Amino acid sequence: MPASPEFVEKLFSQLAPVYEKVSVAISGGMILHWYDLLFKTLDRIYRIKSRDGKRIEHLDIATGTGLIPLWIWKHWRNKVSVTGIDLTEGMLKIARHRMPDWKFIVGDALNLPFDDNSFDVATVTFGLRNMEDPAKAISEAYRVLRSGGYFLVLEVVPYPNPLLQRLFEMHVGTVSAIAGGILSGNITPYVYFAGSVDSFFTREGFEKACRNAGFRKVGILPMAFGGSILAICQK
């Protein structure tokens, strides 16, 4: 059962100062590879969409400390404008400090405060499974994208192999919980994270939810033996 927005907001507010460091540590550095794949995909999309000379509008959902906007600011800020939205003010303070000229707002991914057809690209990284209604969040991303727009998702999903899933839960629930607790001073988030994956969409269920939302193209790149995905959806 997904956690309430209030629980998630409190959890990530506590983790904000060490969130990035802990994420790298408990993933054994694999998260850096996953982000690199996302950035390379964004780079290809931007090259296509920038051909008409218009500025690209990018929405980063559950933006957290602004890792995606930070990469965009370093590499594409002359051609891309970013809006970040997140439930957690503590996370957004870090993002605003990094990129004071860009817009970072507190808001709900299930009710995005934007008009239909407002953005060319939308992203969400490791945030969907923390939402009360991930399917609604996918539909909202579809709504605010323009025709031809892209929705990219990095997420952890249940392993197709039950044994690998059990090993993952043991890793997150014990080893990662201890390591994350030492680094952050709080063991609770890592116990929660293990359960949040088990109750999330399977890879096939995620693809179905994207197609049900209206996306005409949905590509799923499995990673880490199927326990993580990069989804590339086009409206």
Whichever domain contains 18, its CATH number is: 3.40.50.150
Residue 178 is predicted with a pLDDT of 59
Distance, in Å, from the CA atom of 186 to the CA atom of 126, rounded to the nearest integer, reads: 19
| 17 within a domain of the structure (yes/no) | yes
The pTM of the full predicted model, rounded to 2 decimals, is 0.84
Q: Nearest to residue 129, comparing CAs of 194, 84, 178?
A: 194
| 185 within a domain of the structure (yes/no) | no
| 126 within a domain of the structure (yes/no) | yes
Task: Please answer whether residues 60 and 49 qualify as being in contact, where contact means their C-beta atoms are separated by less than 8 angstroms.
Answer: no
Total of domains in the chain: 1
pLDDT digits over 199-216, tens only?
A: 668 889 999 999 999 999
Kindly report the average pLDDT of the chain as a whole number: 84
Residue 111 is predicted with a pLDDT of 97
| 45 within a domain of the structure (yes/no) | yes
| 145 within a domain of the structure (yes/no) | yes
| 181 within a domain of the structure (yes/no) | no
Res. 14: pLDDT tops 50: yes
Structure token pair of residue 154:
């990095």
Res. 1: pLDDT tops 50: no
Give the pLDDT band (50/70/90) at residue 217: very high
| 20 within a domain of the structure (yes/no) | yes
| 173 within a domain of the structure (yes/no) | no
Which domain covers residue 214, as residue numbers? 5-156+200-234
Distance, in Å, from the CA atom of 51 to the CA atom of 55, rounded to the nearest integer, reads: 10
Counting every residue written for the chain, the total comes to 235
Residue 105 is predicted with a pLDDT of 97
Distance, in Å, from the CA atom of 186 to the CA atom of 222, rounded to the nearest integer, reads: 30
Give the pLDDT band (50/70/90) at residue 193: low
